[in-house]
Amino acid sequence: MGDDIMSYNGGVALAMKGKECVAIACDKRYGVQNKTIATNFTKIFQYVLFENVSFFLKVQTVSERLRFRTNLYELREQRKLKPLVLYNMLTNLLYERRFGPYFVYALVIGLDPKTGETYVFDSDNIGAISDNVNLATVGTASDYIFGLGELFFKPNMNADELFEATSQALLNGVDRDSASGWGAVVYVVEKDKVTVRELKGRQD
């Protein structure tokens, strides 16, 4: 593992777009360098349910601080957050700590229930913004998963195909990385519902 703080705990997440659906998946390992401590540490934190859905890679402090800001936004504006707003809030939060950053990479996905427009964004740990991409990965096994993701991705997939593509890319990608794995959790967000599935992969 070496000295790299970003690979200290390990873990990985992947997000992919389909037709009026988006999926985000993460592994469940929580470890300290090469020691695995827990195998139920999902890194996905849900912000708003059903109206404008946005998901995000969780590390406790960042997610709690983001929740502080999103709660105040919703109280003052009297409406739910849009995915792009959440993403901008998050990147702003991360950049505030430009010279003493949070050690977290972020993925935000969202779906507008009225228009069906899908959003997938990722960010580095100081809040560099990305475009709305088809596929995004973060984590220690991100390169491996990205390759598989590119292979399995087709434009305009429906929810089931999207689930298959996302889960296969993640499960097979983490097998190449010792710091990720121990199963996966996949959230598929559609206009009217969110489906959560837990997958059992190689338990090593």
Partner 1 sequence: MARRYDTRATIFSPEGRLYQVEYALEAISHSGASLGILADDGVVLAGEKRNISPLLDDVKYSEKIYKIHDDLCCSVSGITSDANVLINELRMIGQRYLLTYQEPAPIEYIVSRLCNIKQAYTQYGGKRPFGVSFLYMGWDKHYGYQLYQSDPSGNFGGWKATCVGHNSQTAISILKQEYKIGETKLNDALRLAIRVFSKTLDTTKLTPEKIEIAVLQHDDKTNQTTIRMLKDDELTALIKQYDDEQSKLEADRQKQQAASTTDRK
Give the footprint of partner 1 on this chain (CB under 8 A).
Answer: 64-65, 67-68, 71-72, 75-76, 78
Radius of gyration (C-alpha) of the chain in whole angstroms: 16
In the complex, least distance from residue 59 CB atom to partner 1, rounded to whole angstroms: 15
Q: Which of 156, 157, 166, 158 is nearest to 197 (CA)?
A: 166
* Closer Cβ to partner 1, 50 or 68, answer by number: 68
In the complex, least distance from residue 185 CB atom to partner 1, rounded to whole angstroms: 21
C-beta of residue 187 within 8 angstroms of C-beta of residue 44? yes
* Closer Cβ to partner 1, 74 or 117, answer by number: 74
End-to-end CA distance of the chain: 17
In the complex, least distance from residue 76 CB atom to partner 1, rounded to whole angstroms: 7
Residue in the block written with tokens 């599935």: 197
β-strands 118-123, 194-199 pairing: unpaired
Beta strands in the chain, from DSSP E residues, in sequence order: 12-17, 21-27, 30-32, 35-38, 44-48, 53-57, 106-111, 118-123, 135-139, 184-190, 194-199
* Closer Cβ to partner 1, 14 or 62, answer by number: 62
In the complex, least distance from residue 69 CB atom to partner 1, rounded to whole angstroms: 8
In angstroms, rounded to a whole number, what is the distance separating the alpha carbons of residues 70 and 111?
Answer: 17
* Closer Cβ to partner 1, 69 or 176, answer by number: 69
In angstroms, rounded to a whole number, what is the distance separating the alpha carbons of residues 187 and 46?
Answer: 10
In the complex, least distance from residue 178 CB atom to partner 1, rounded to whole angstroms: 32
* Closer Cβ to partner 1, 40 or 71, answer by number: 71
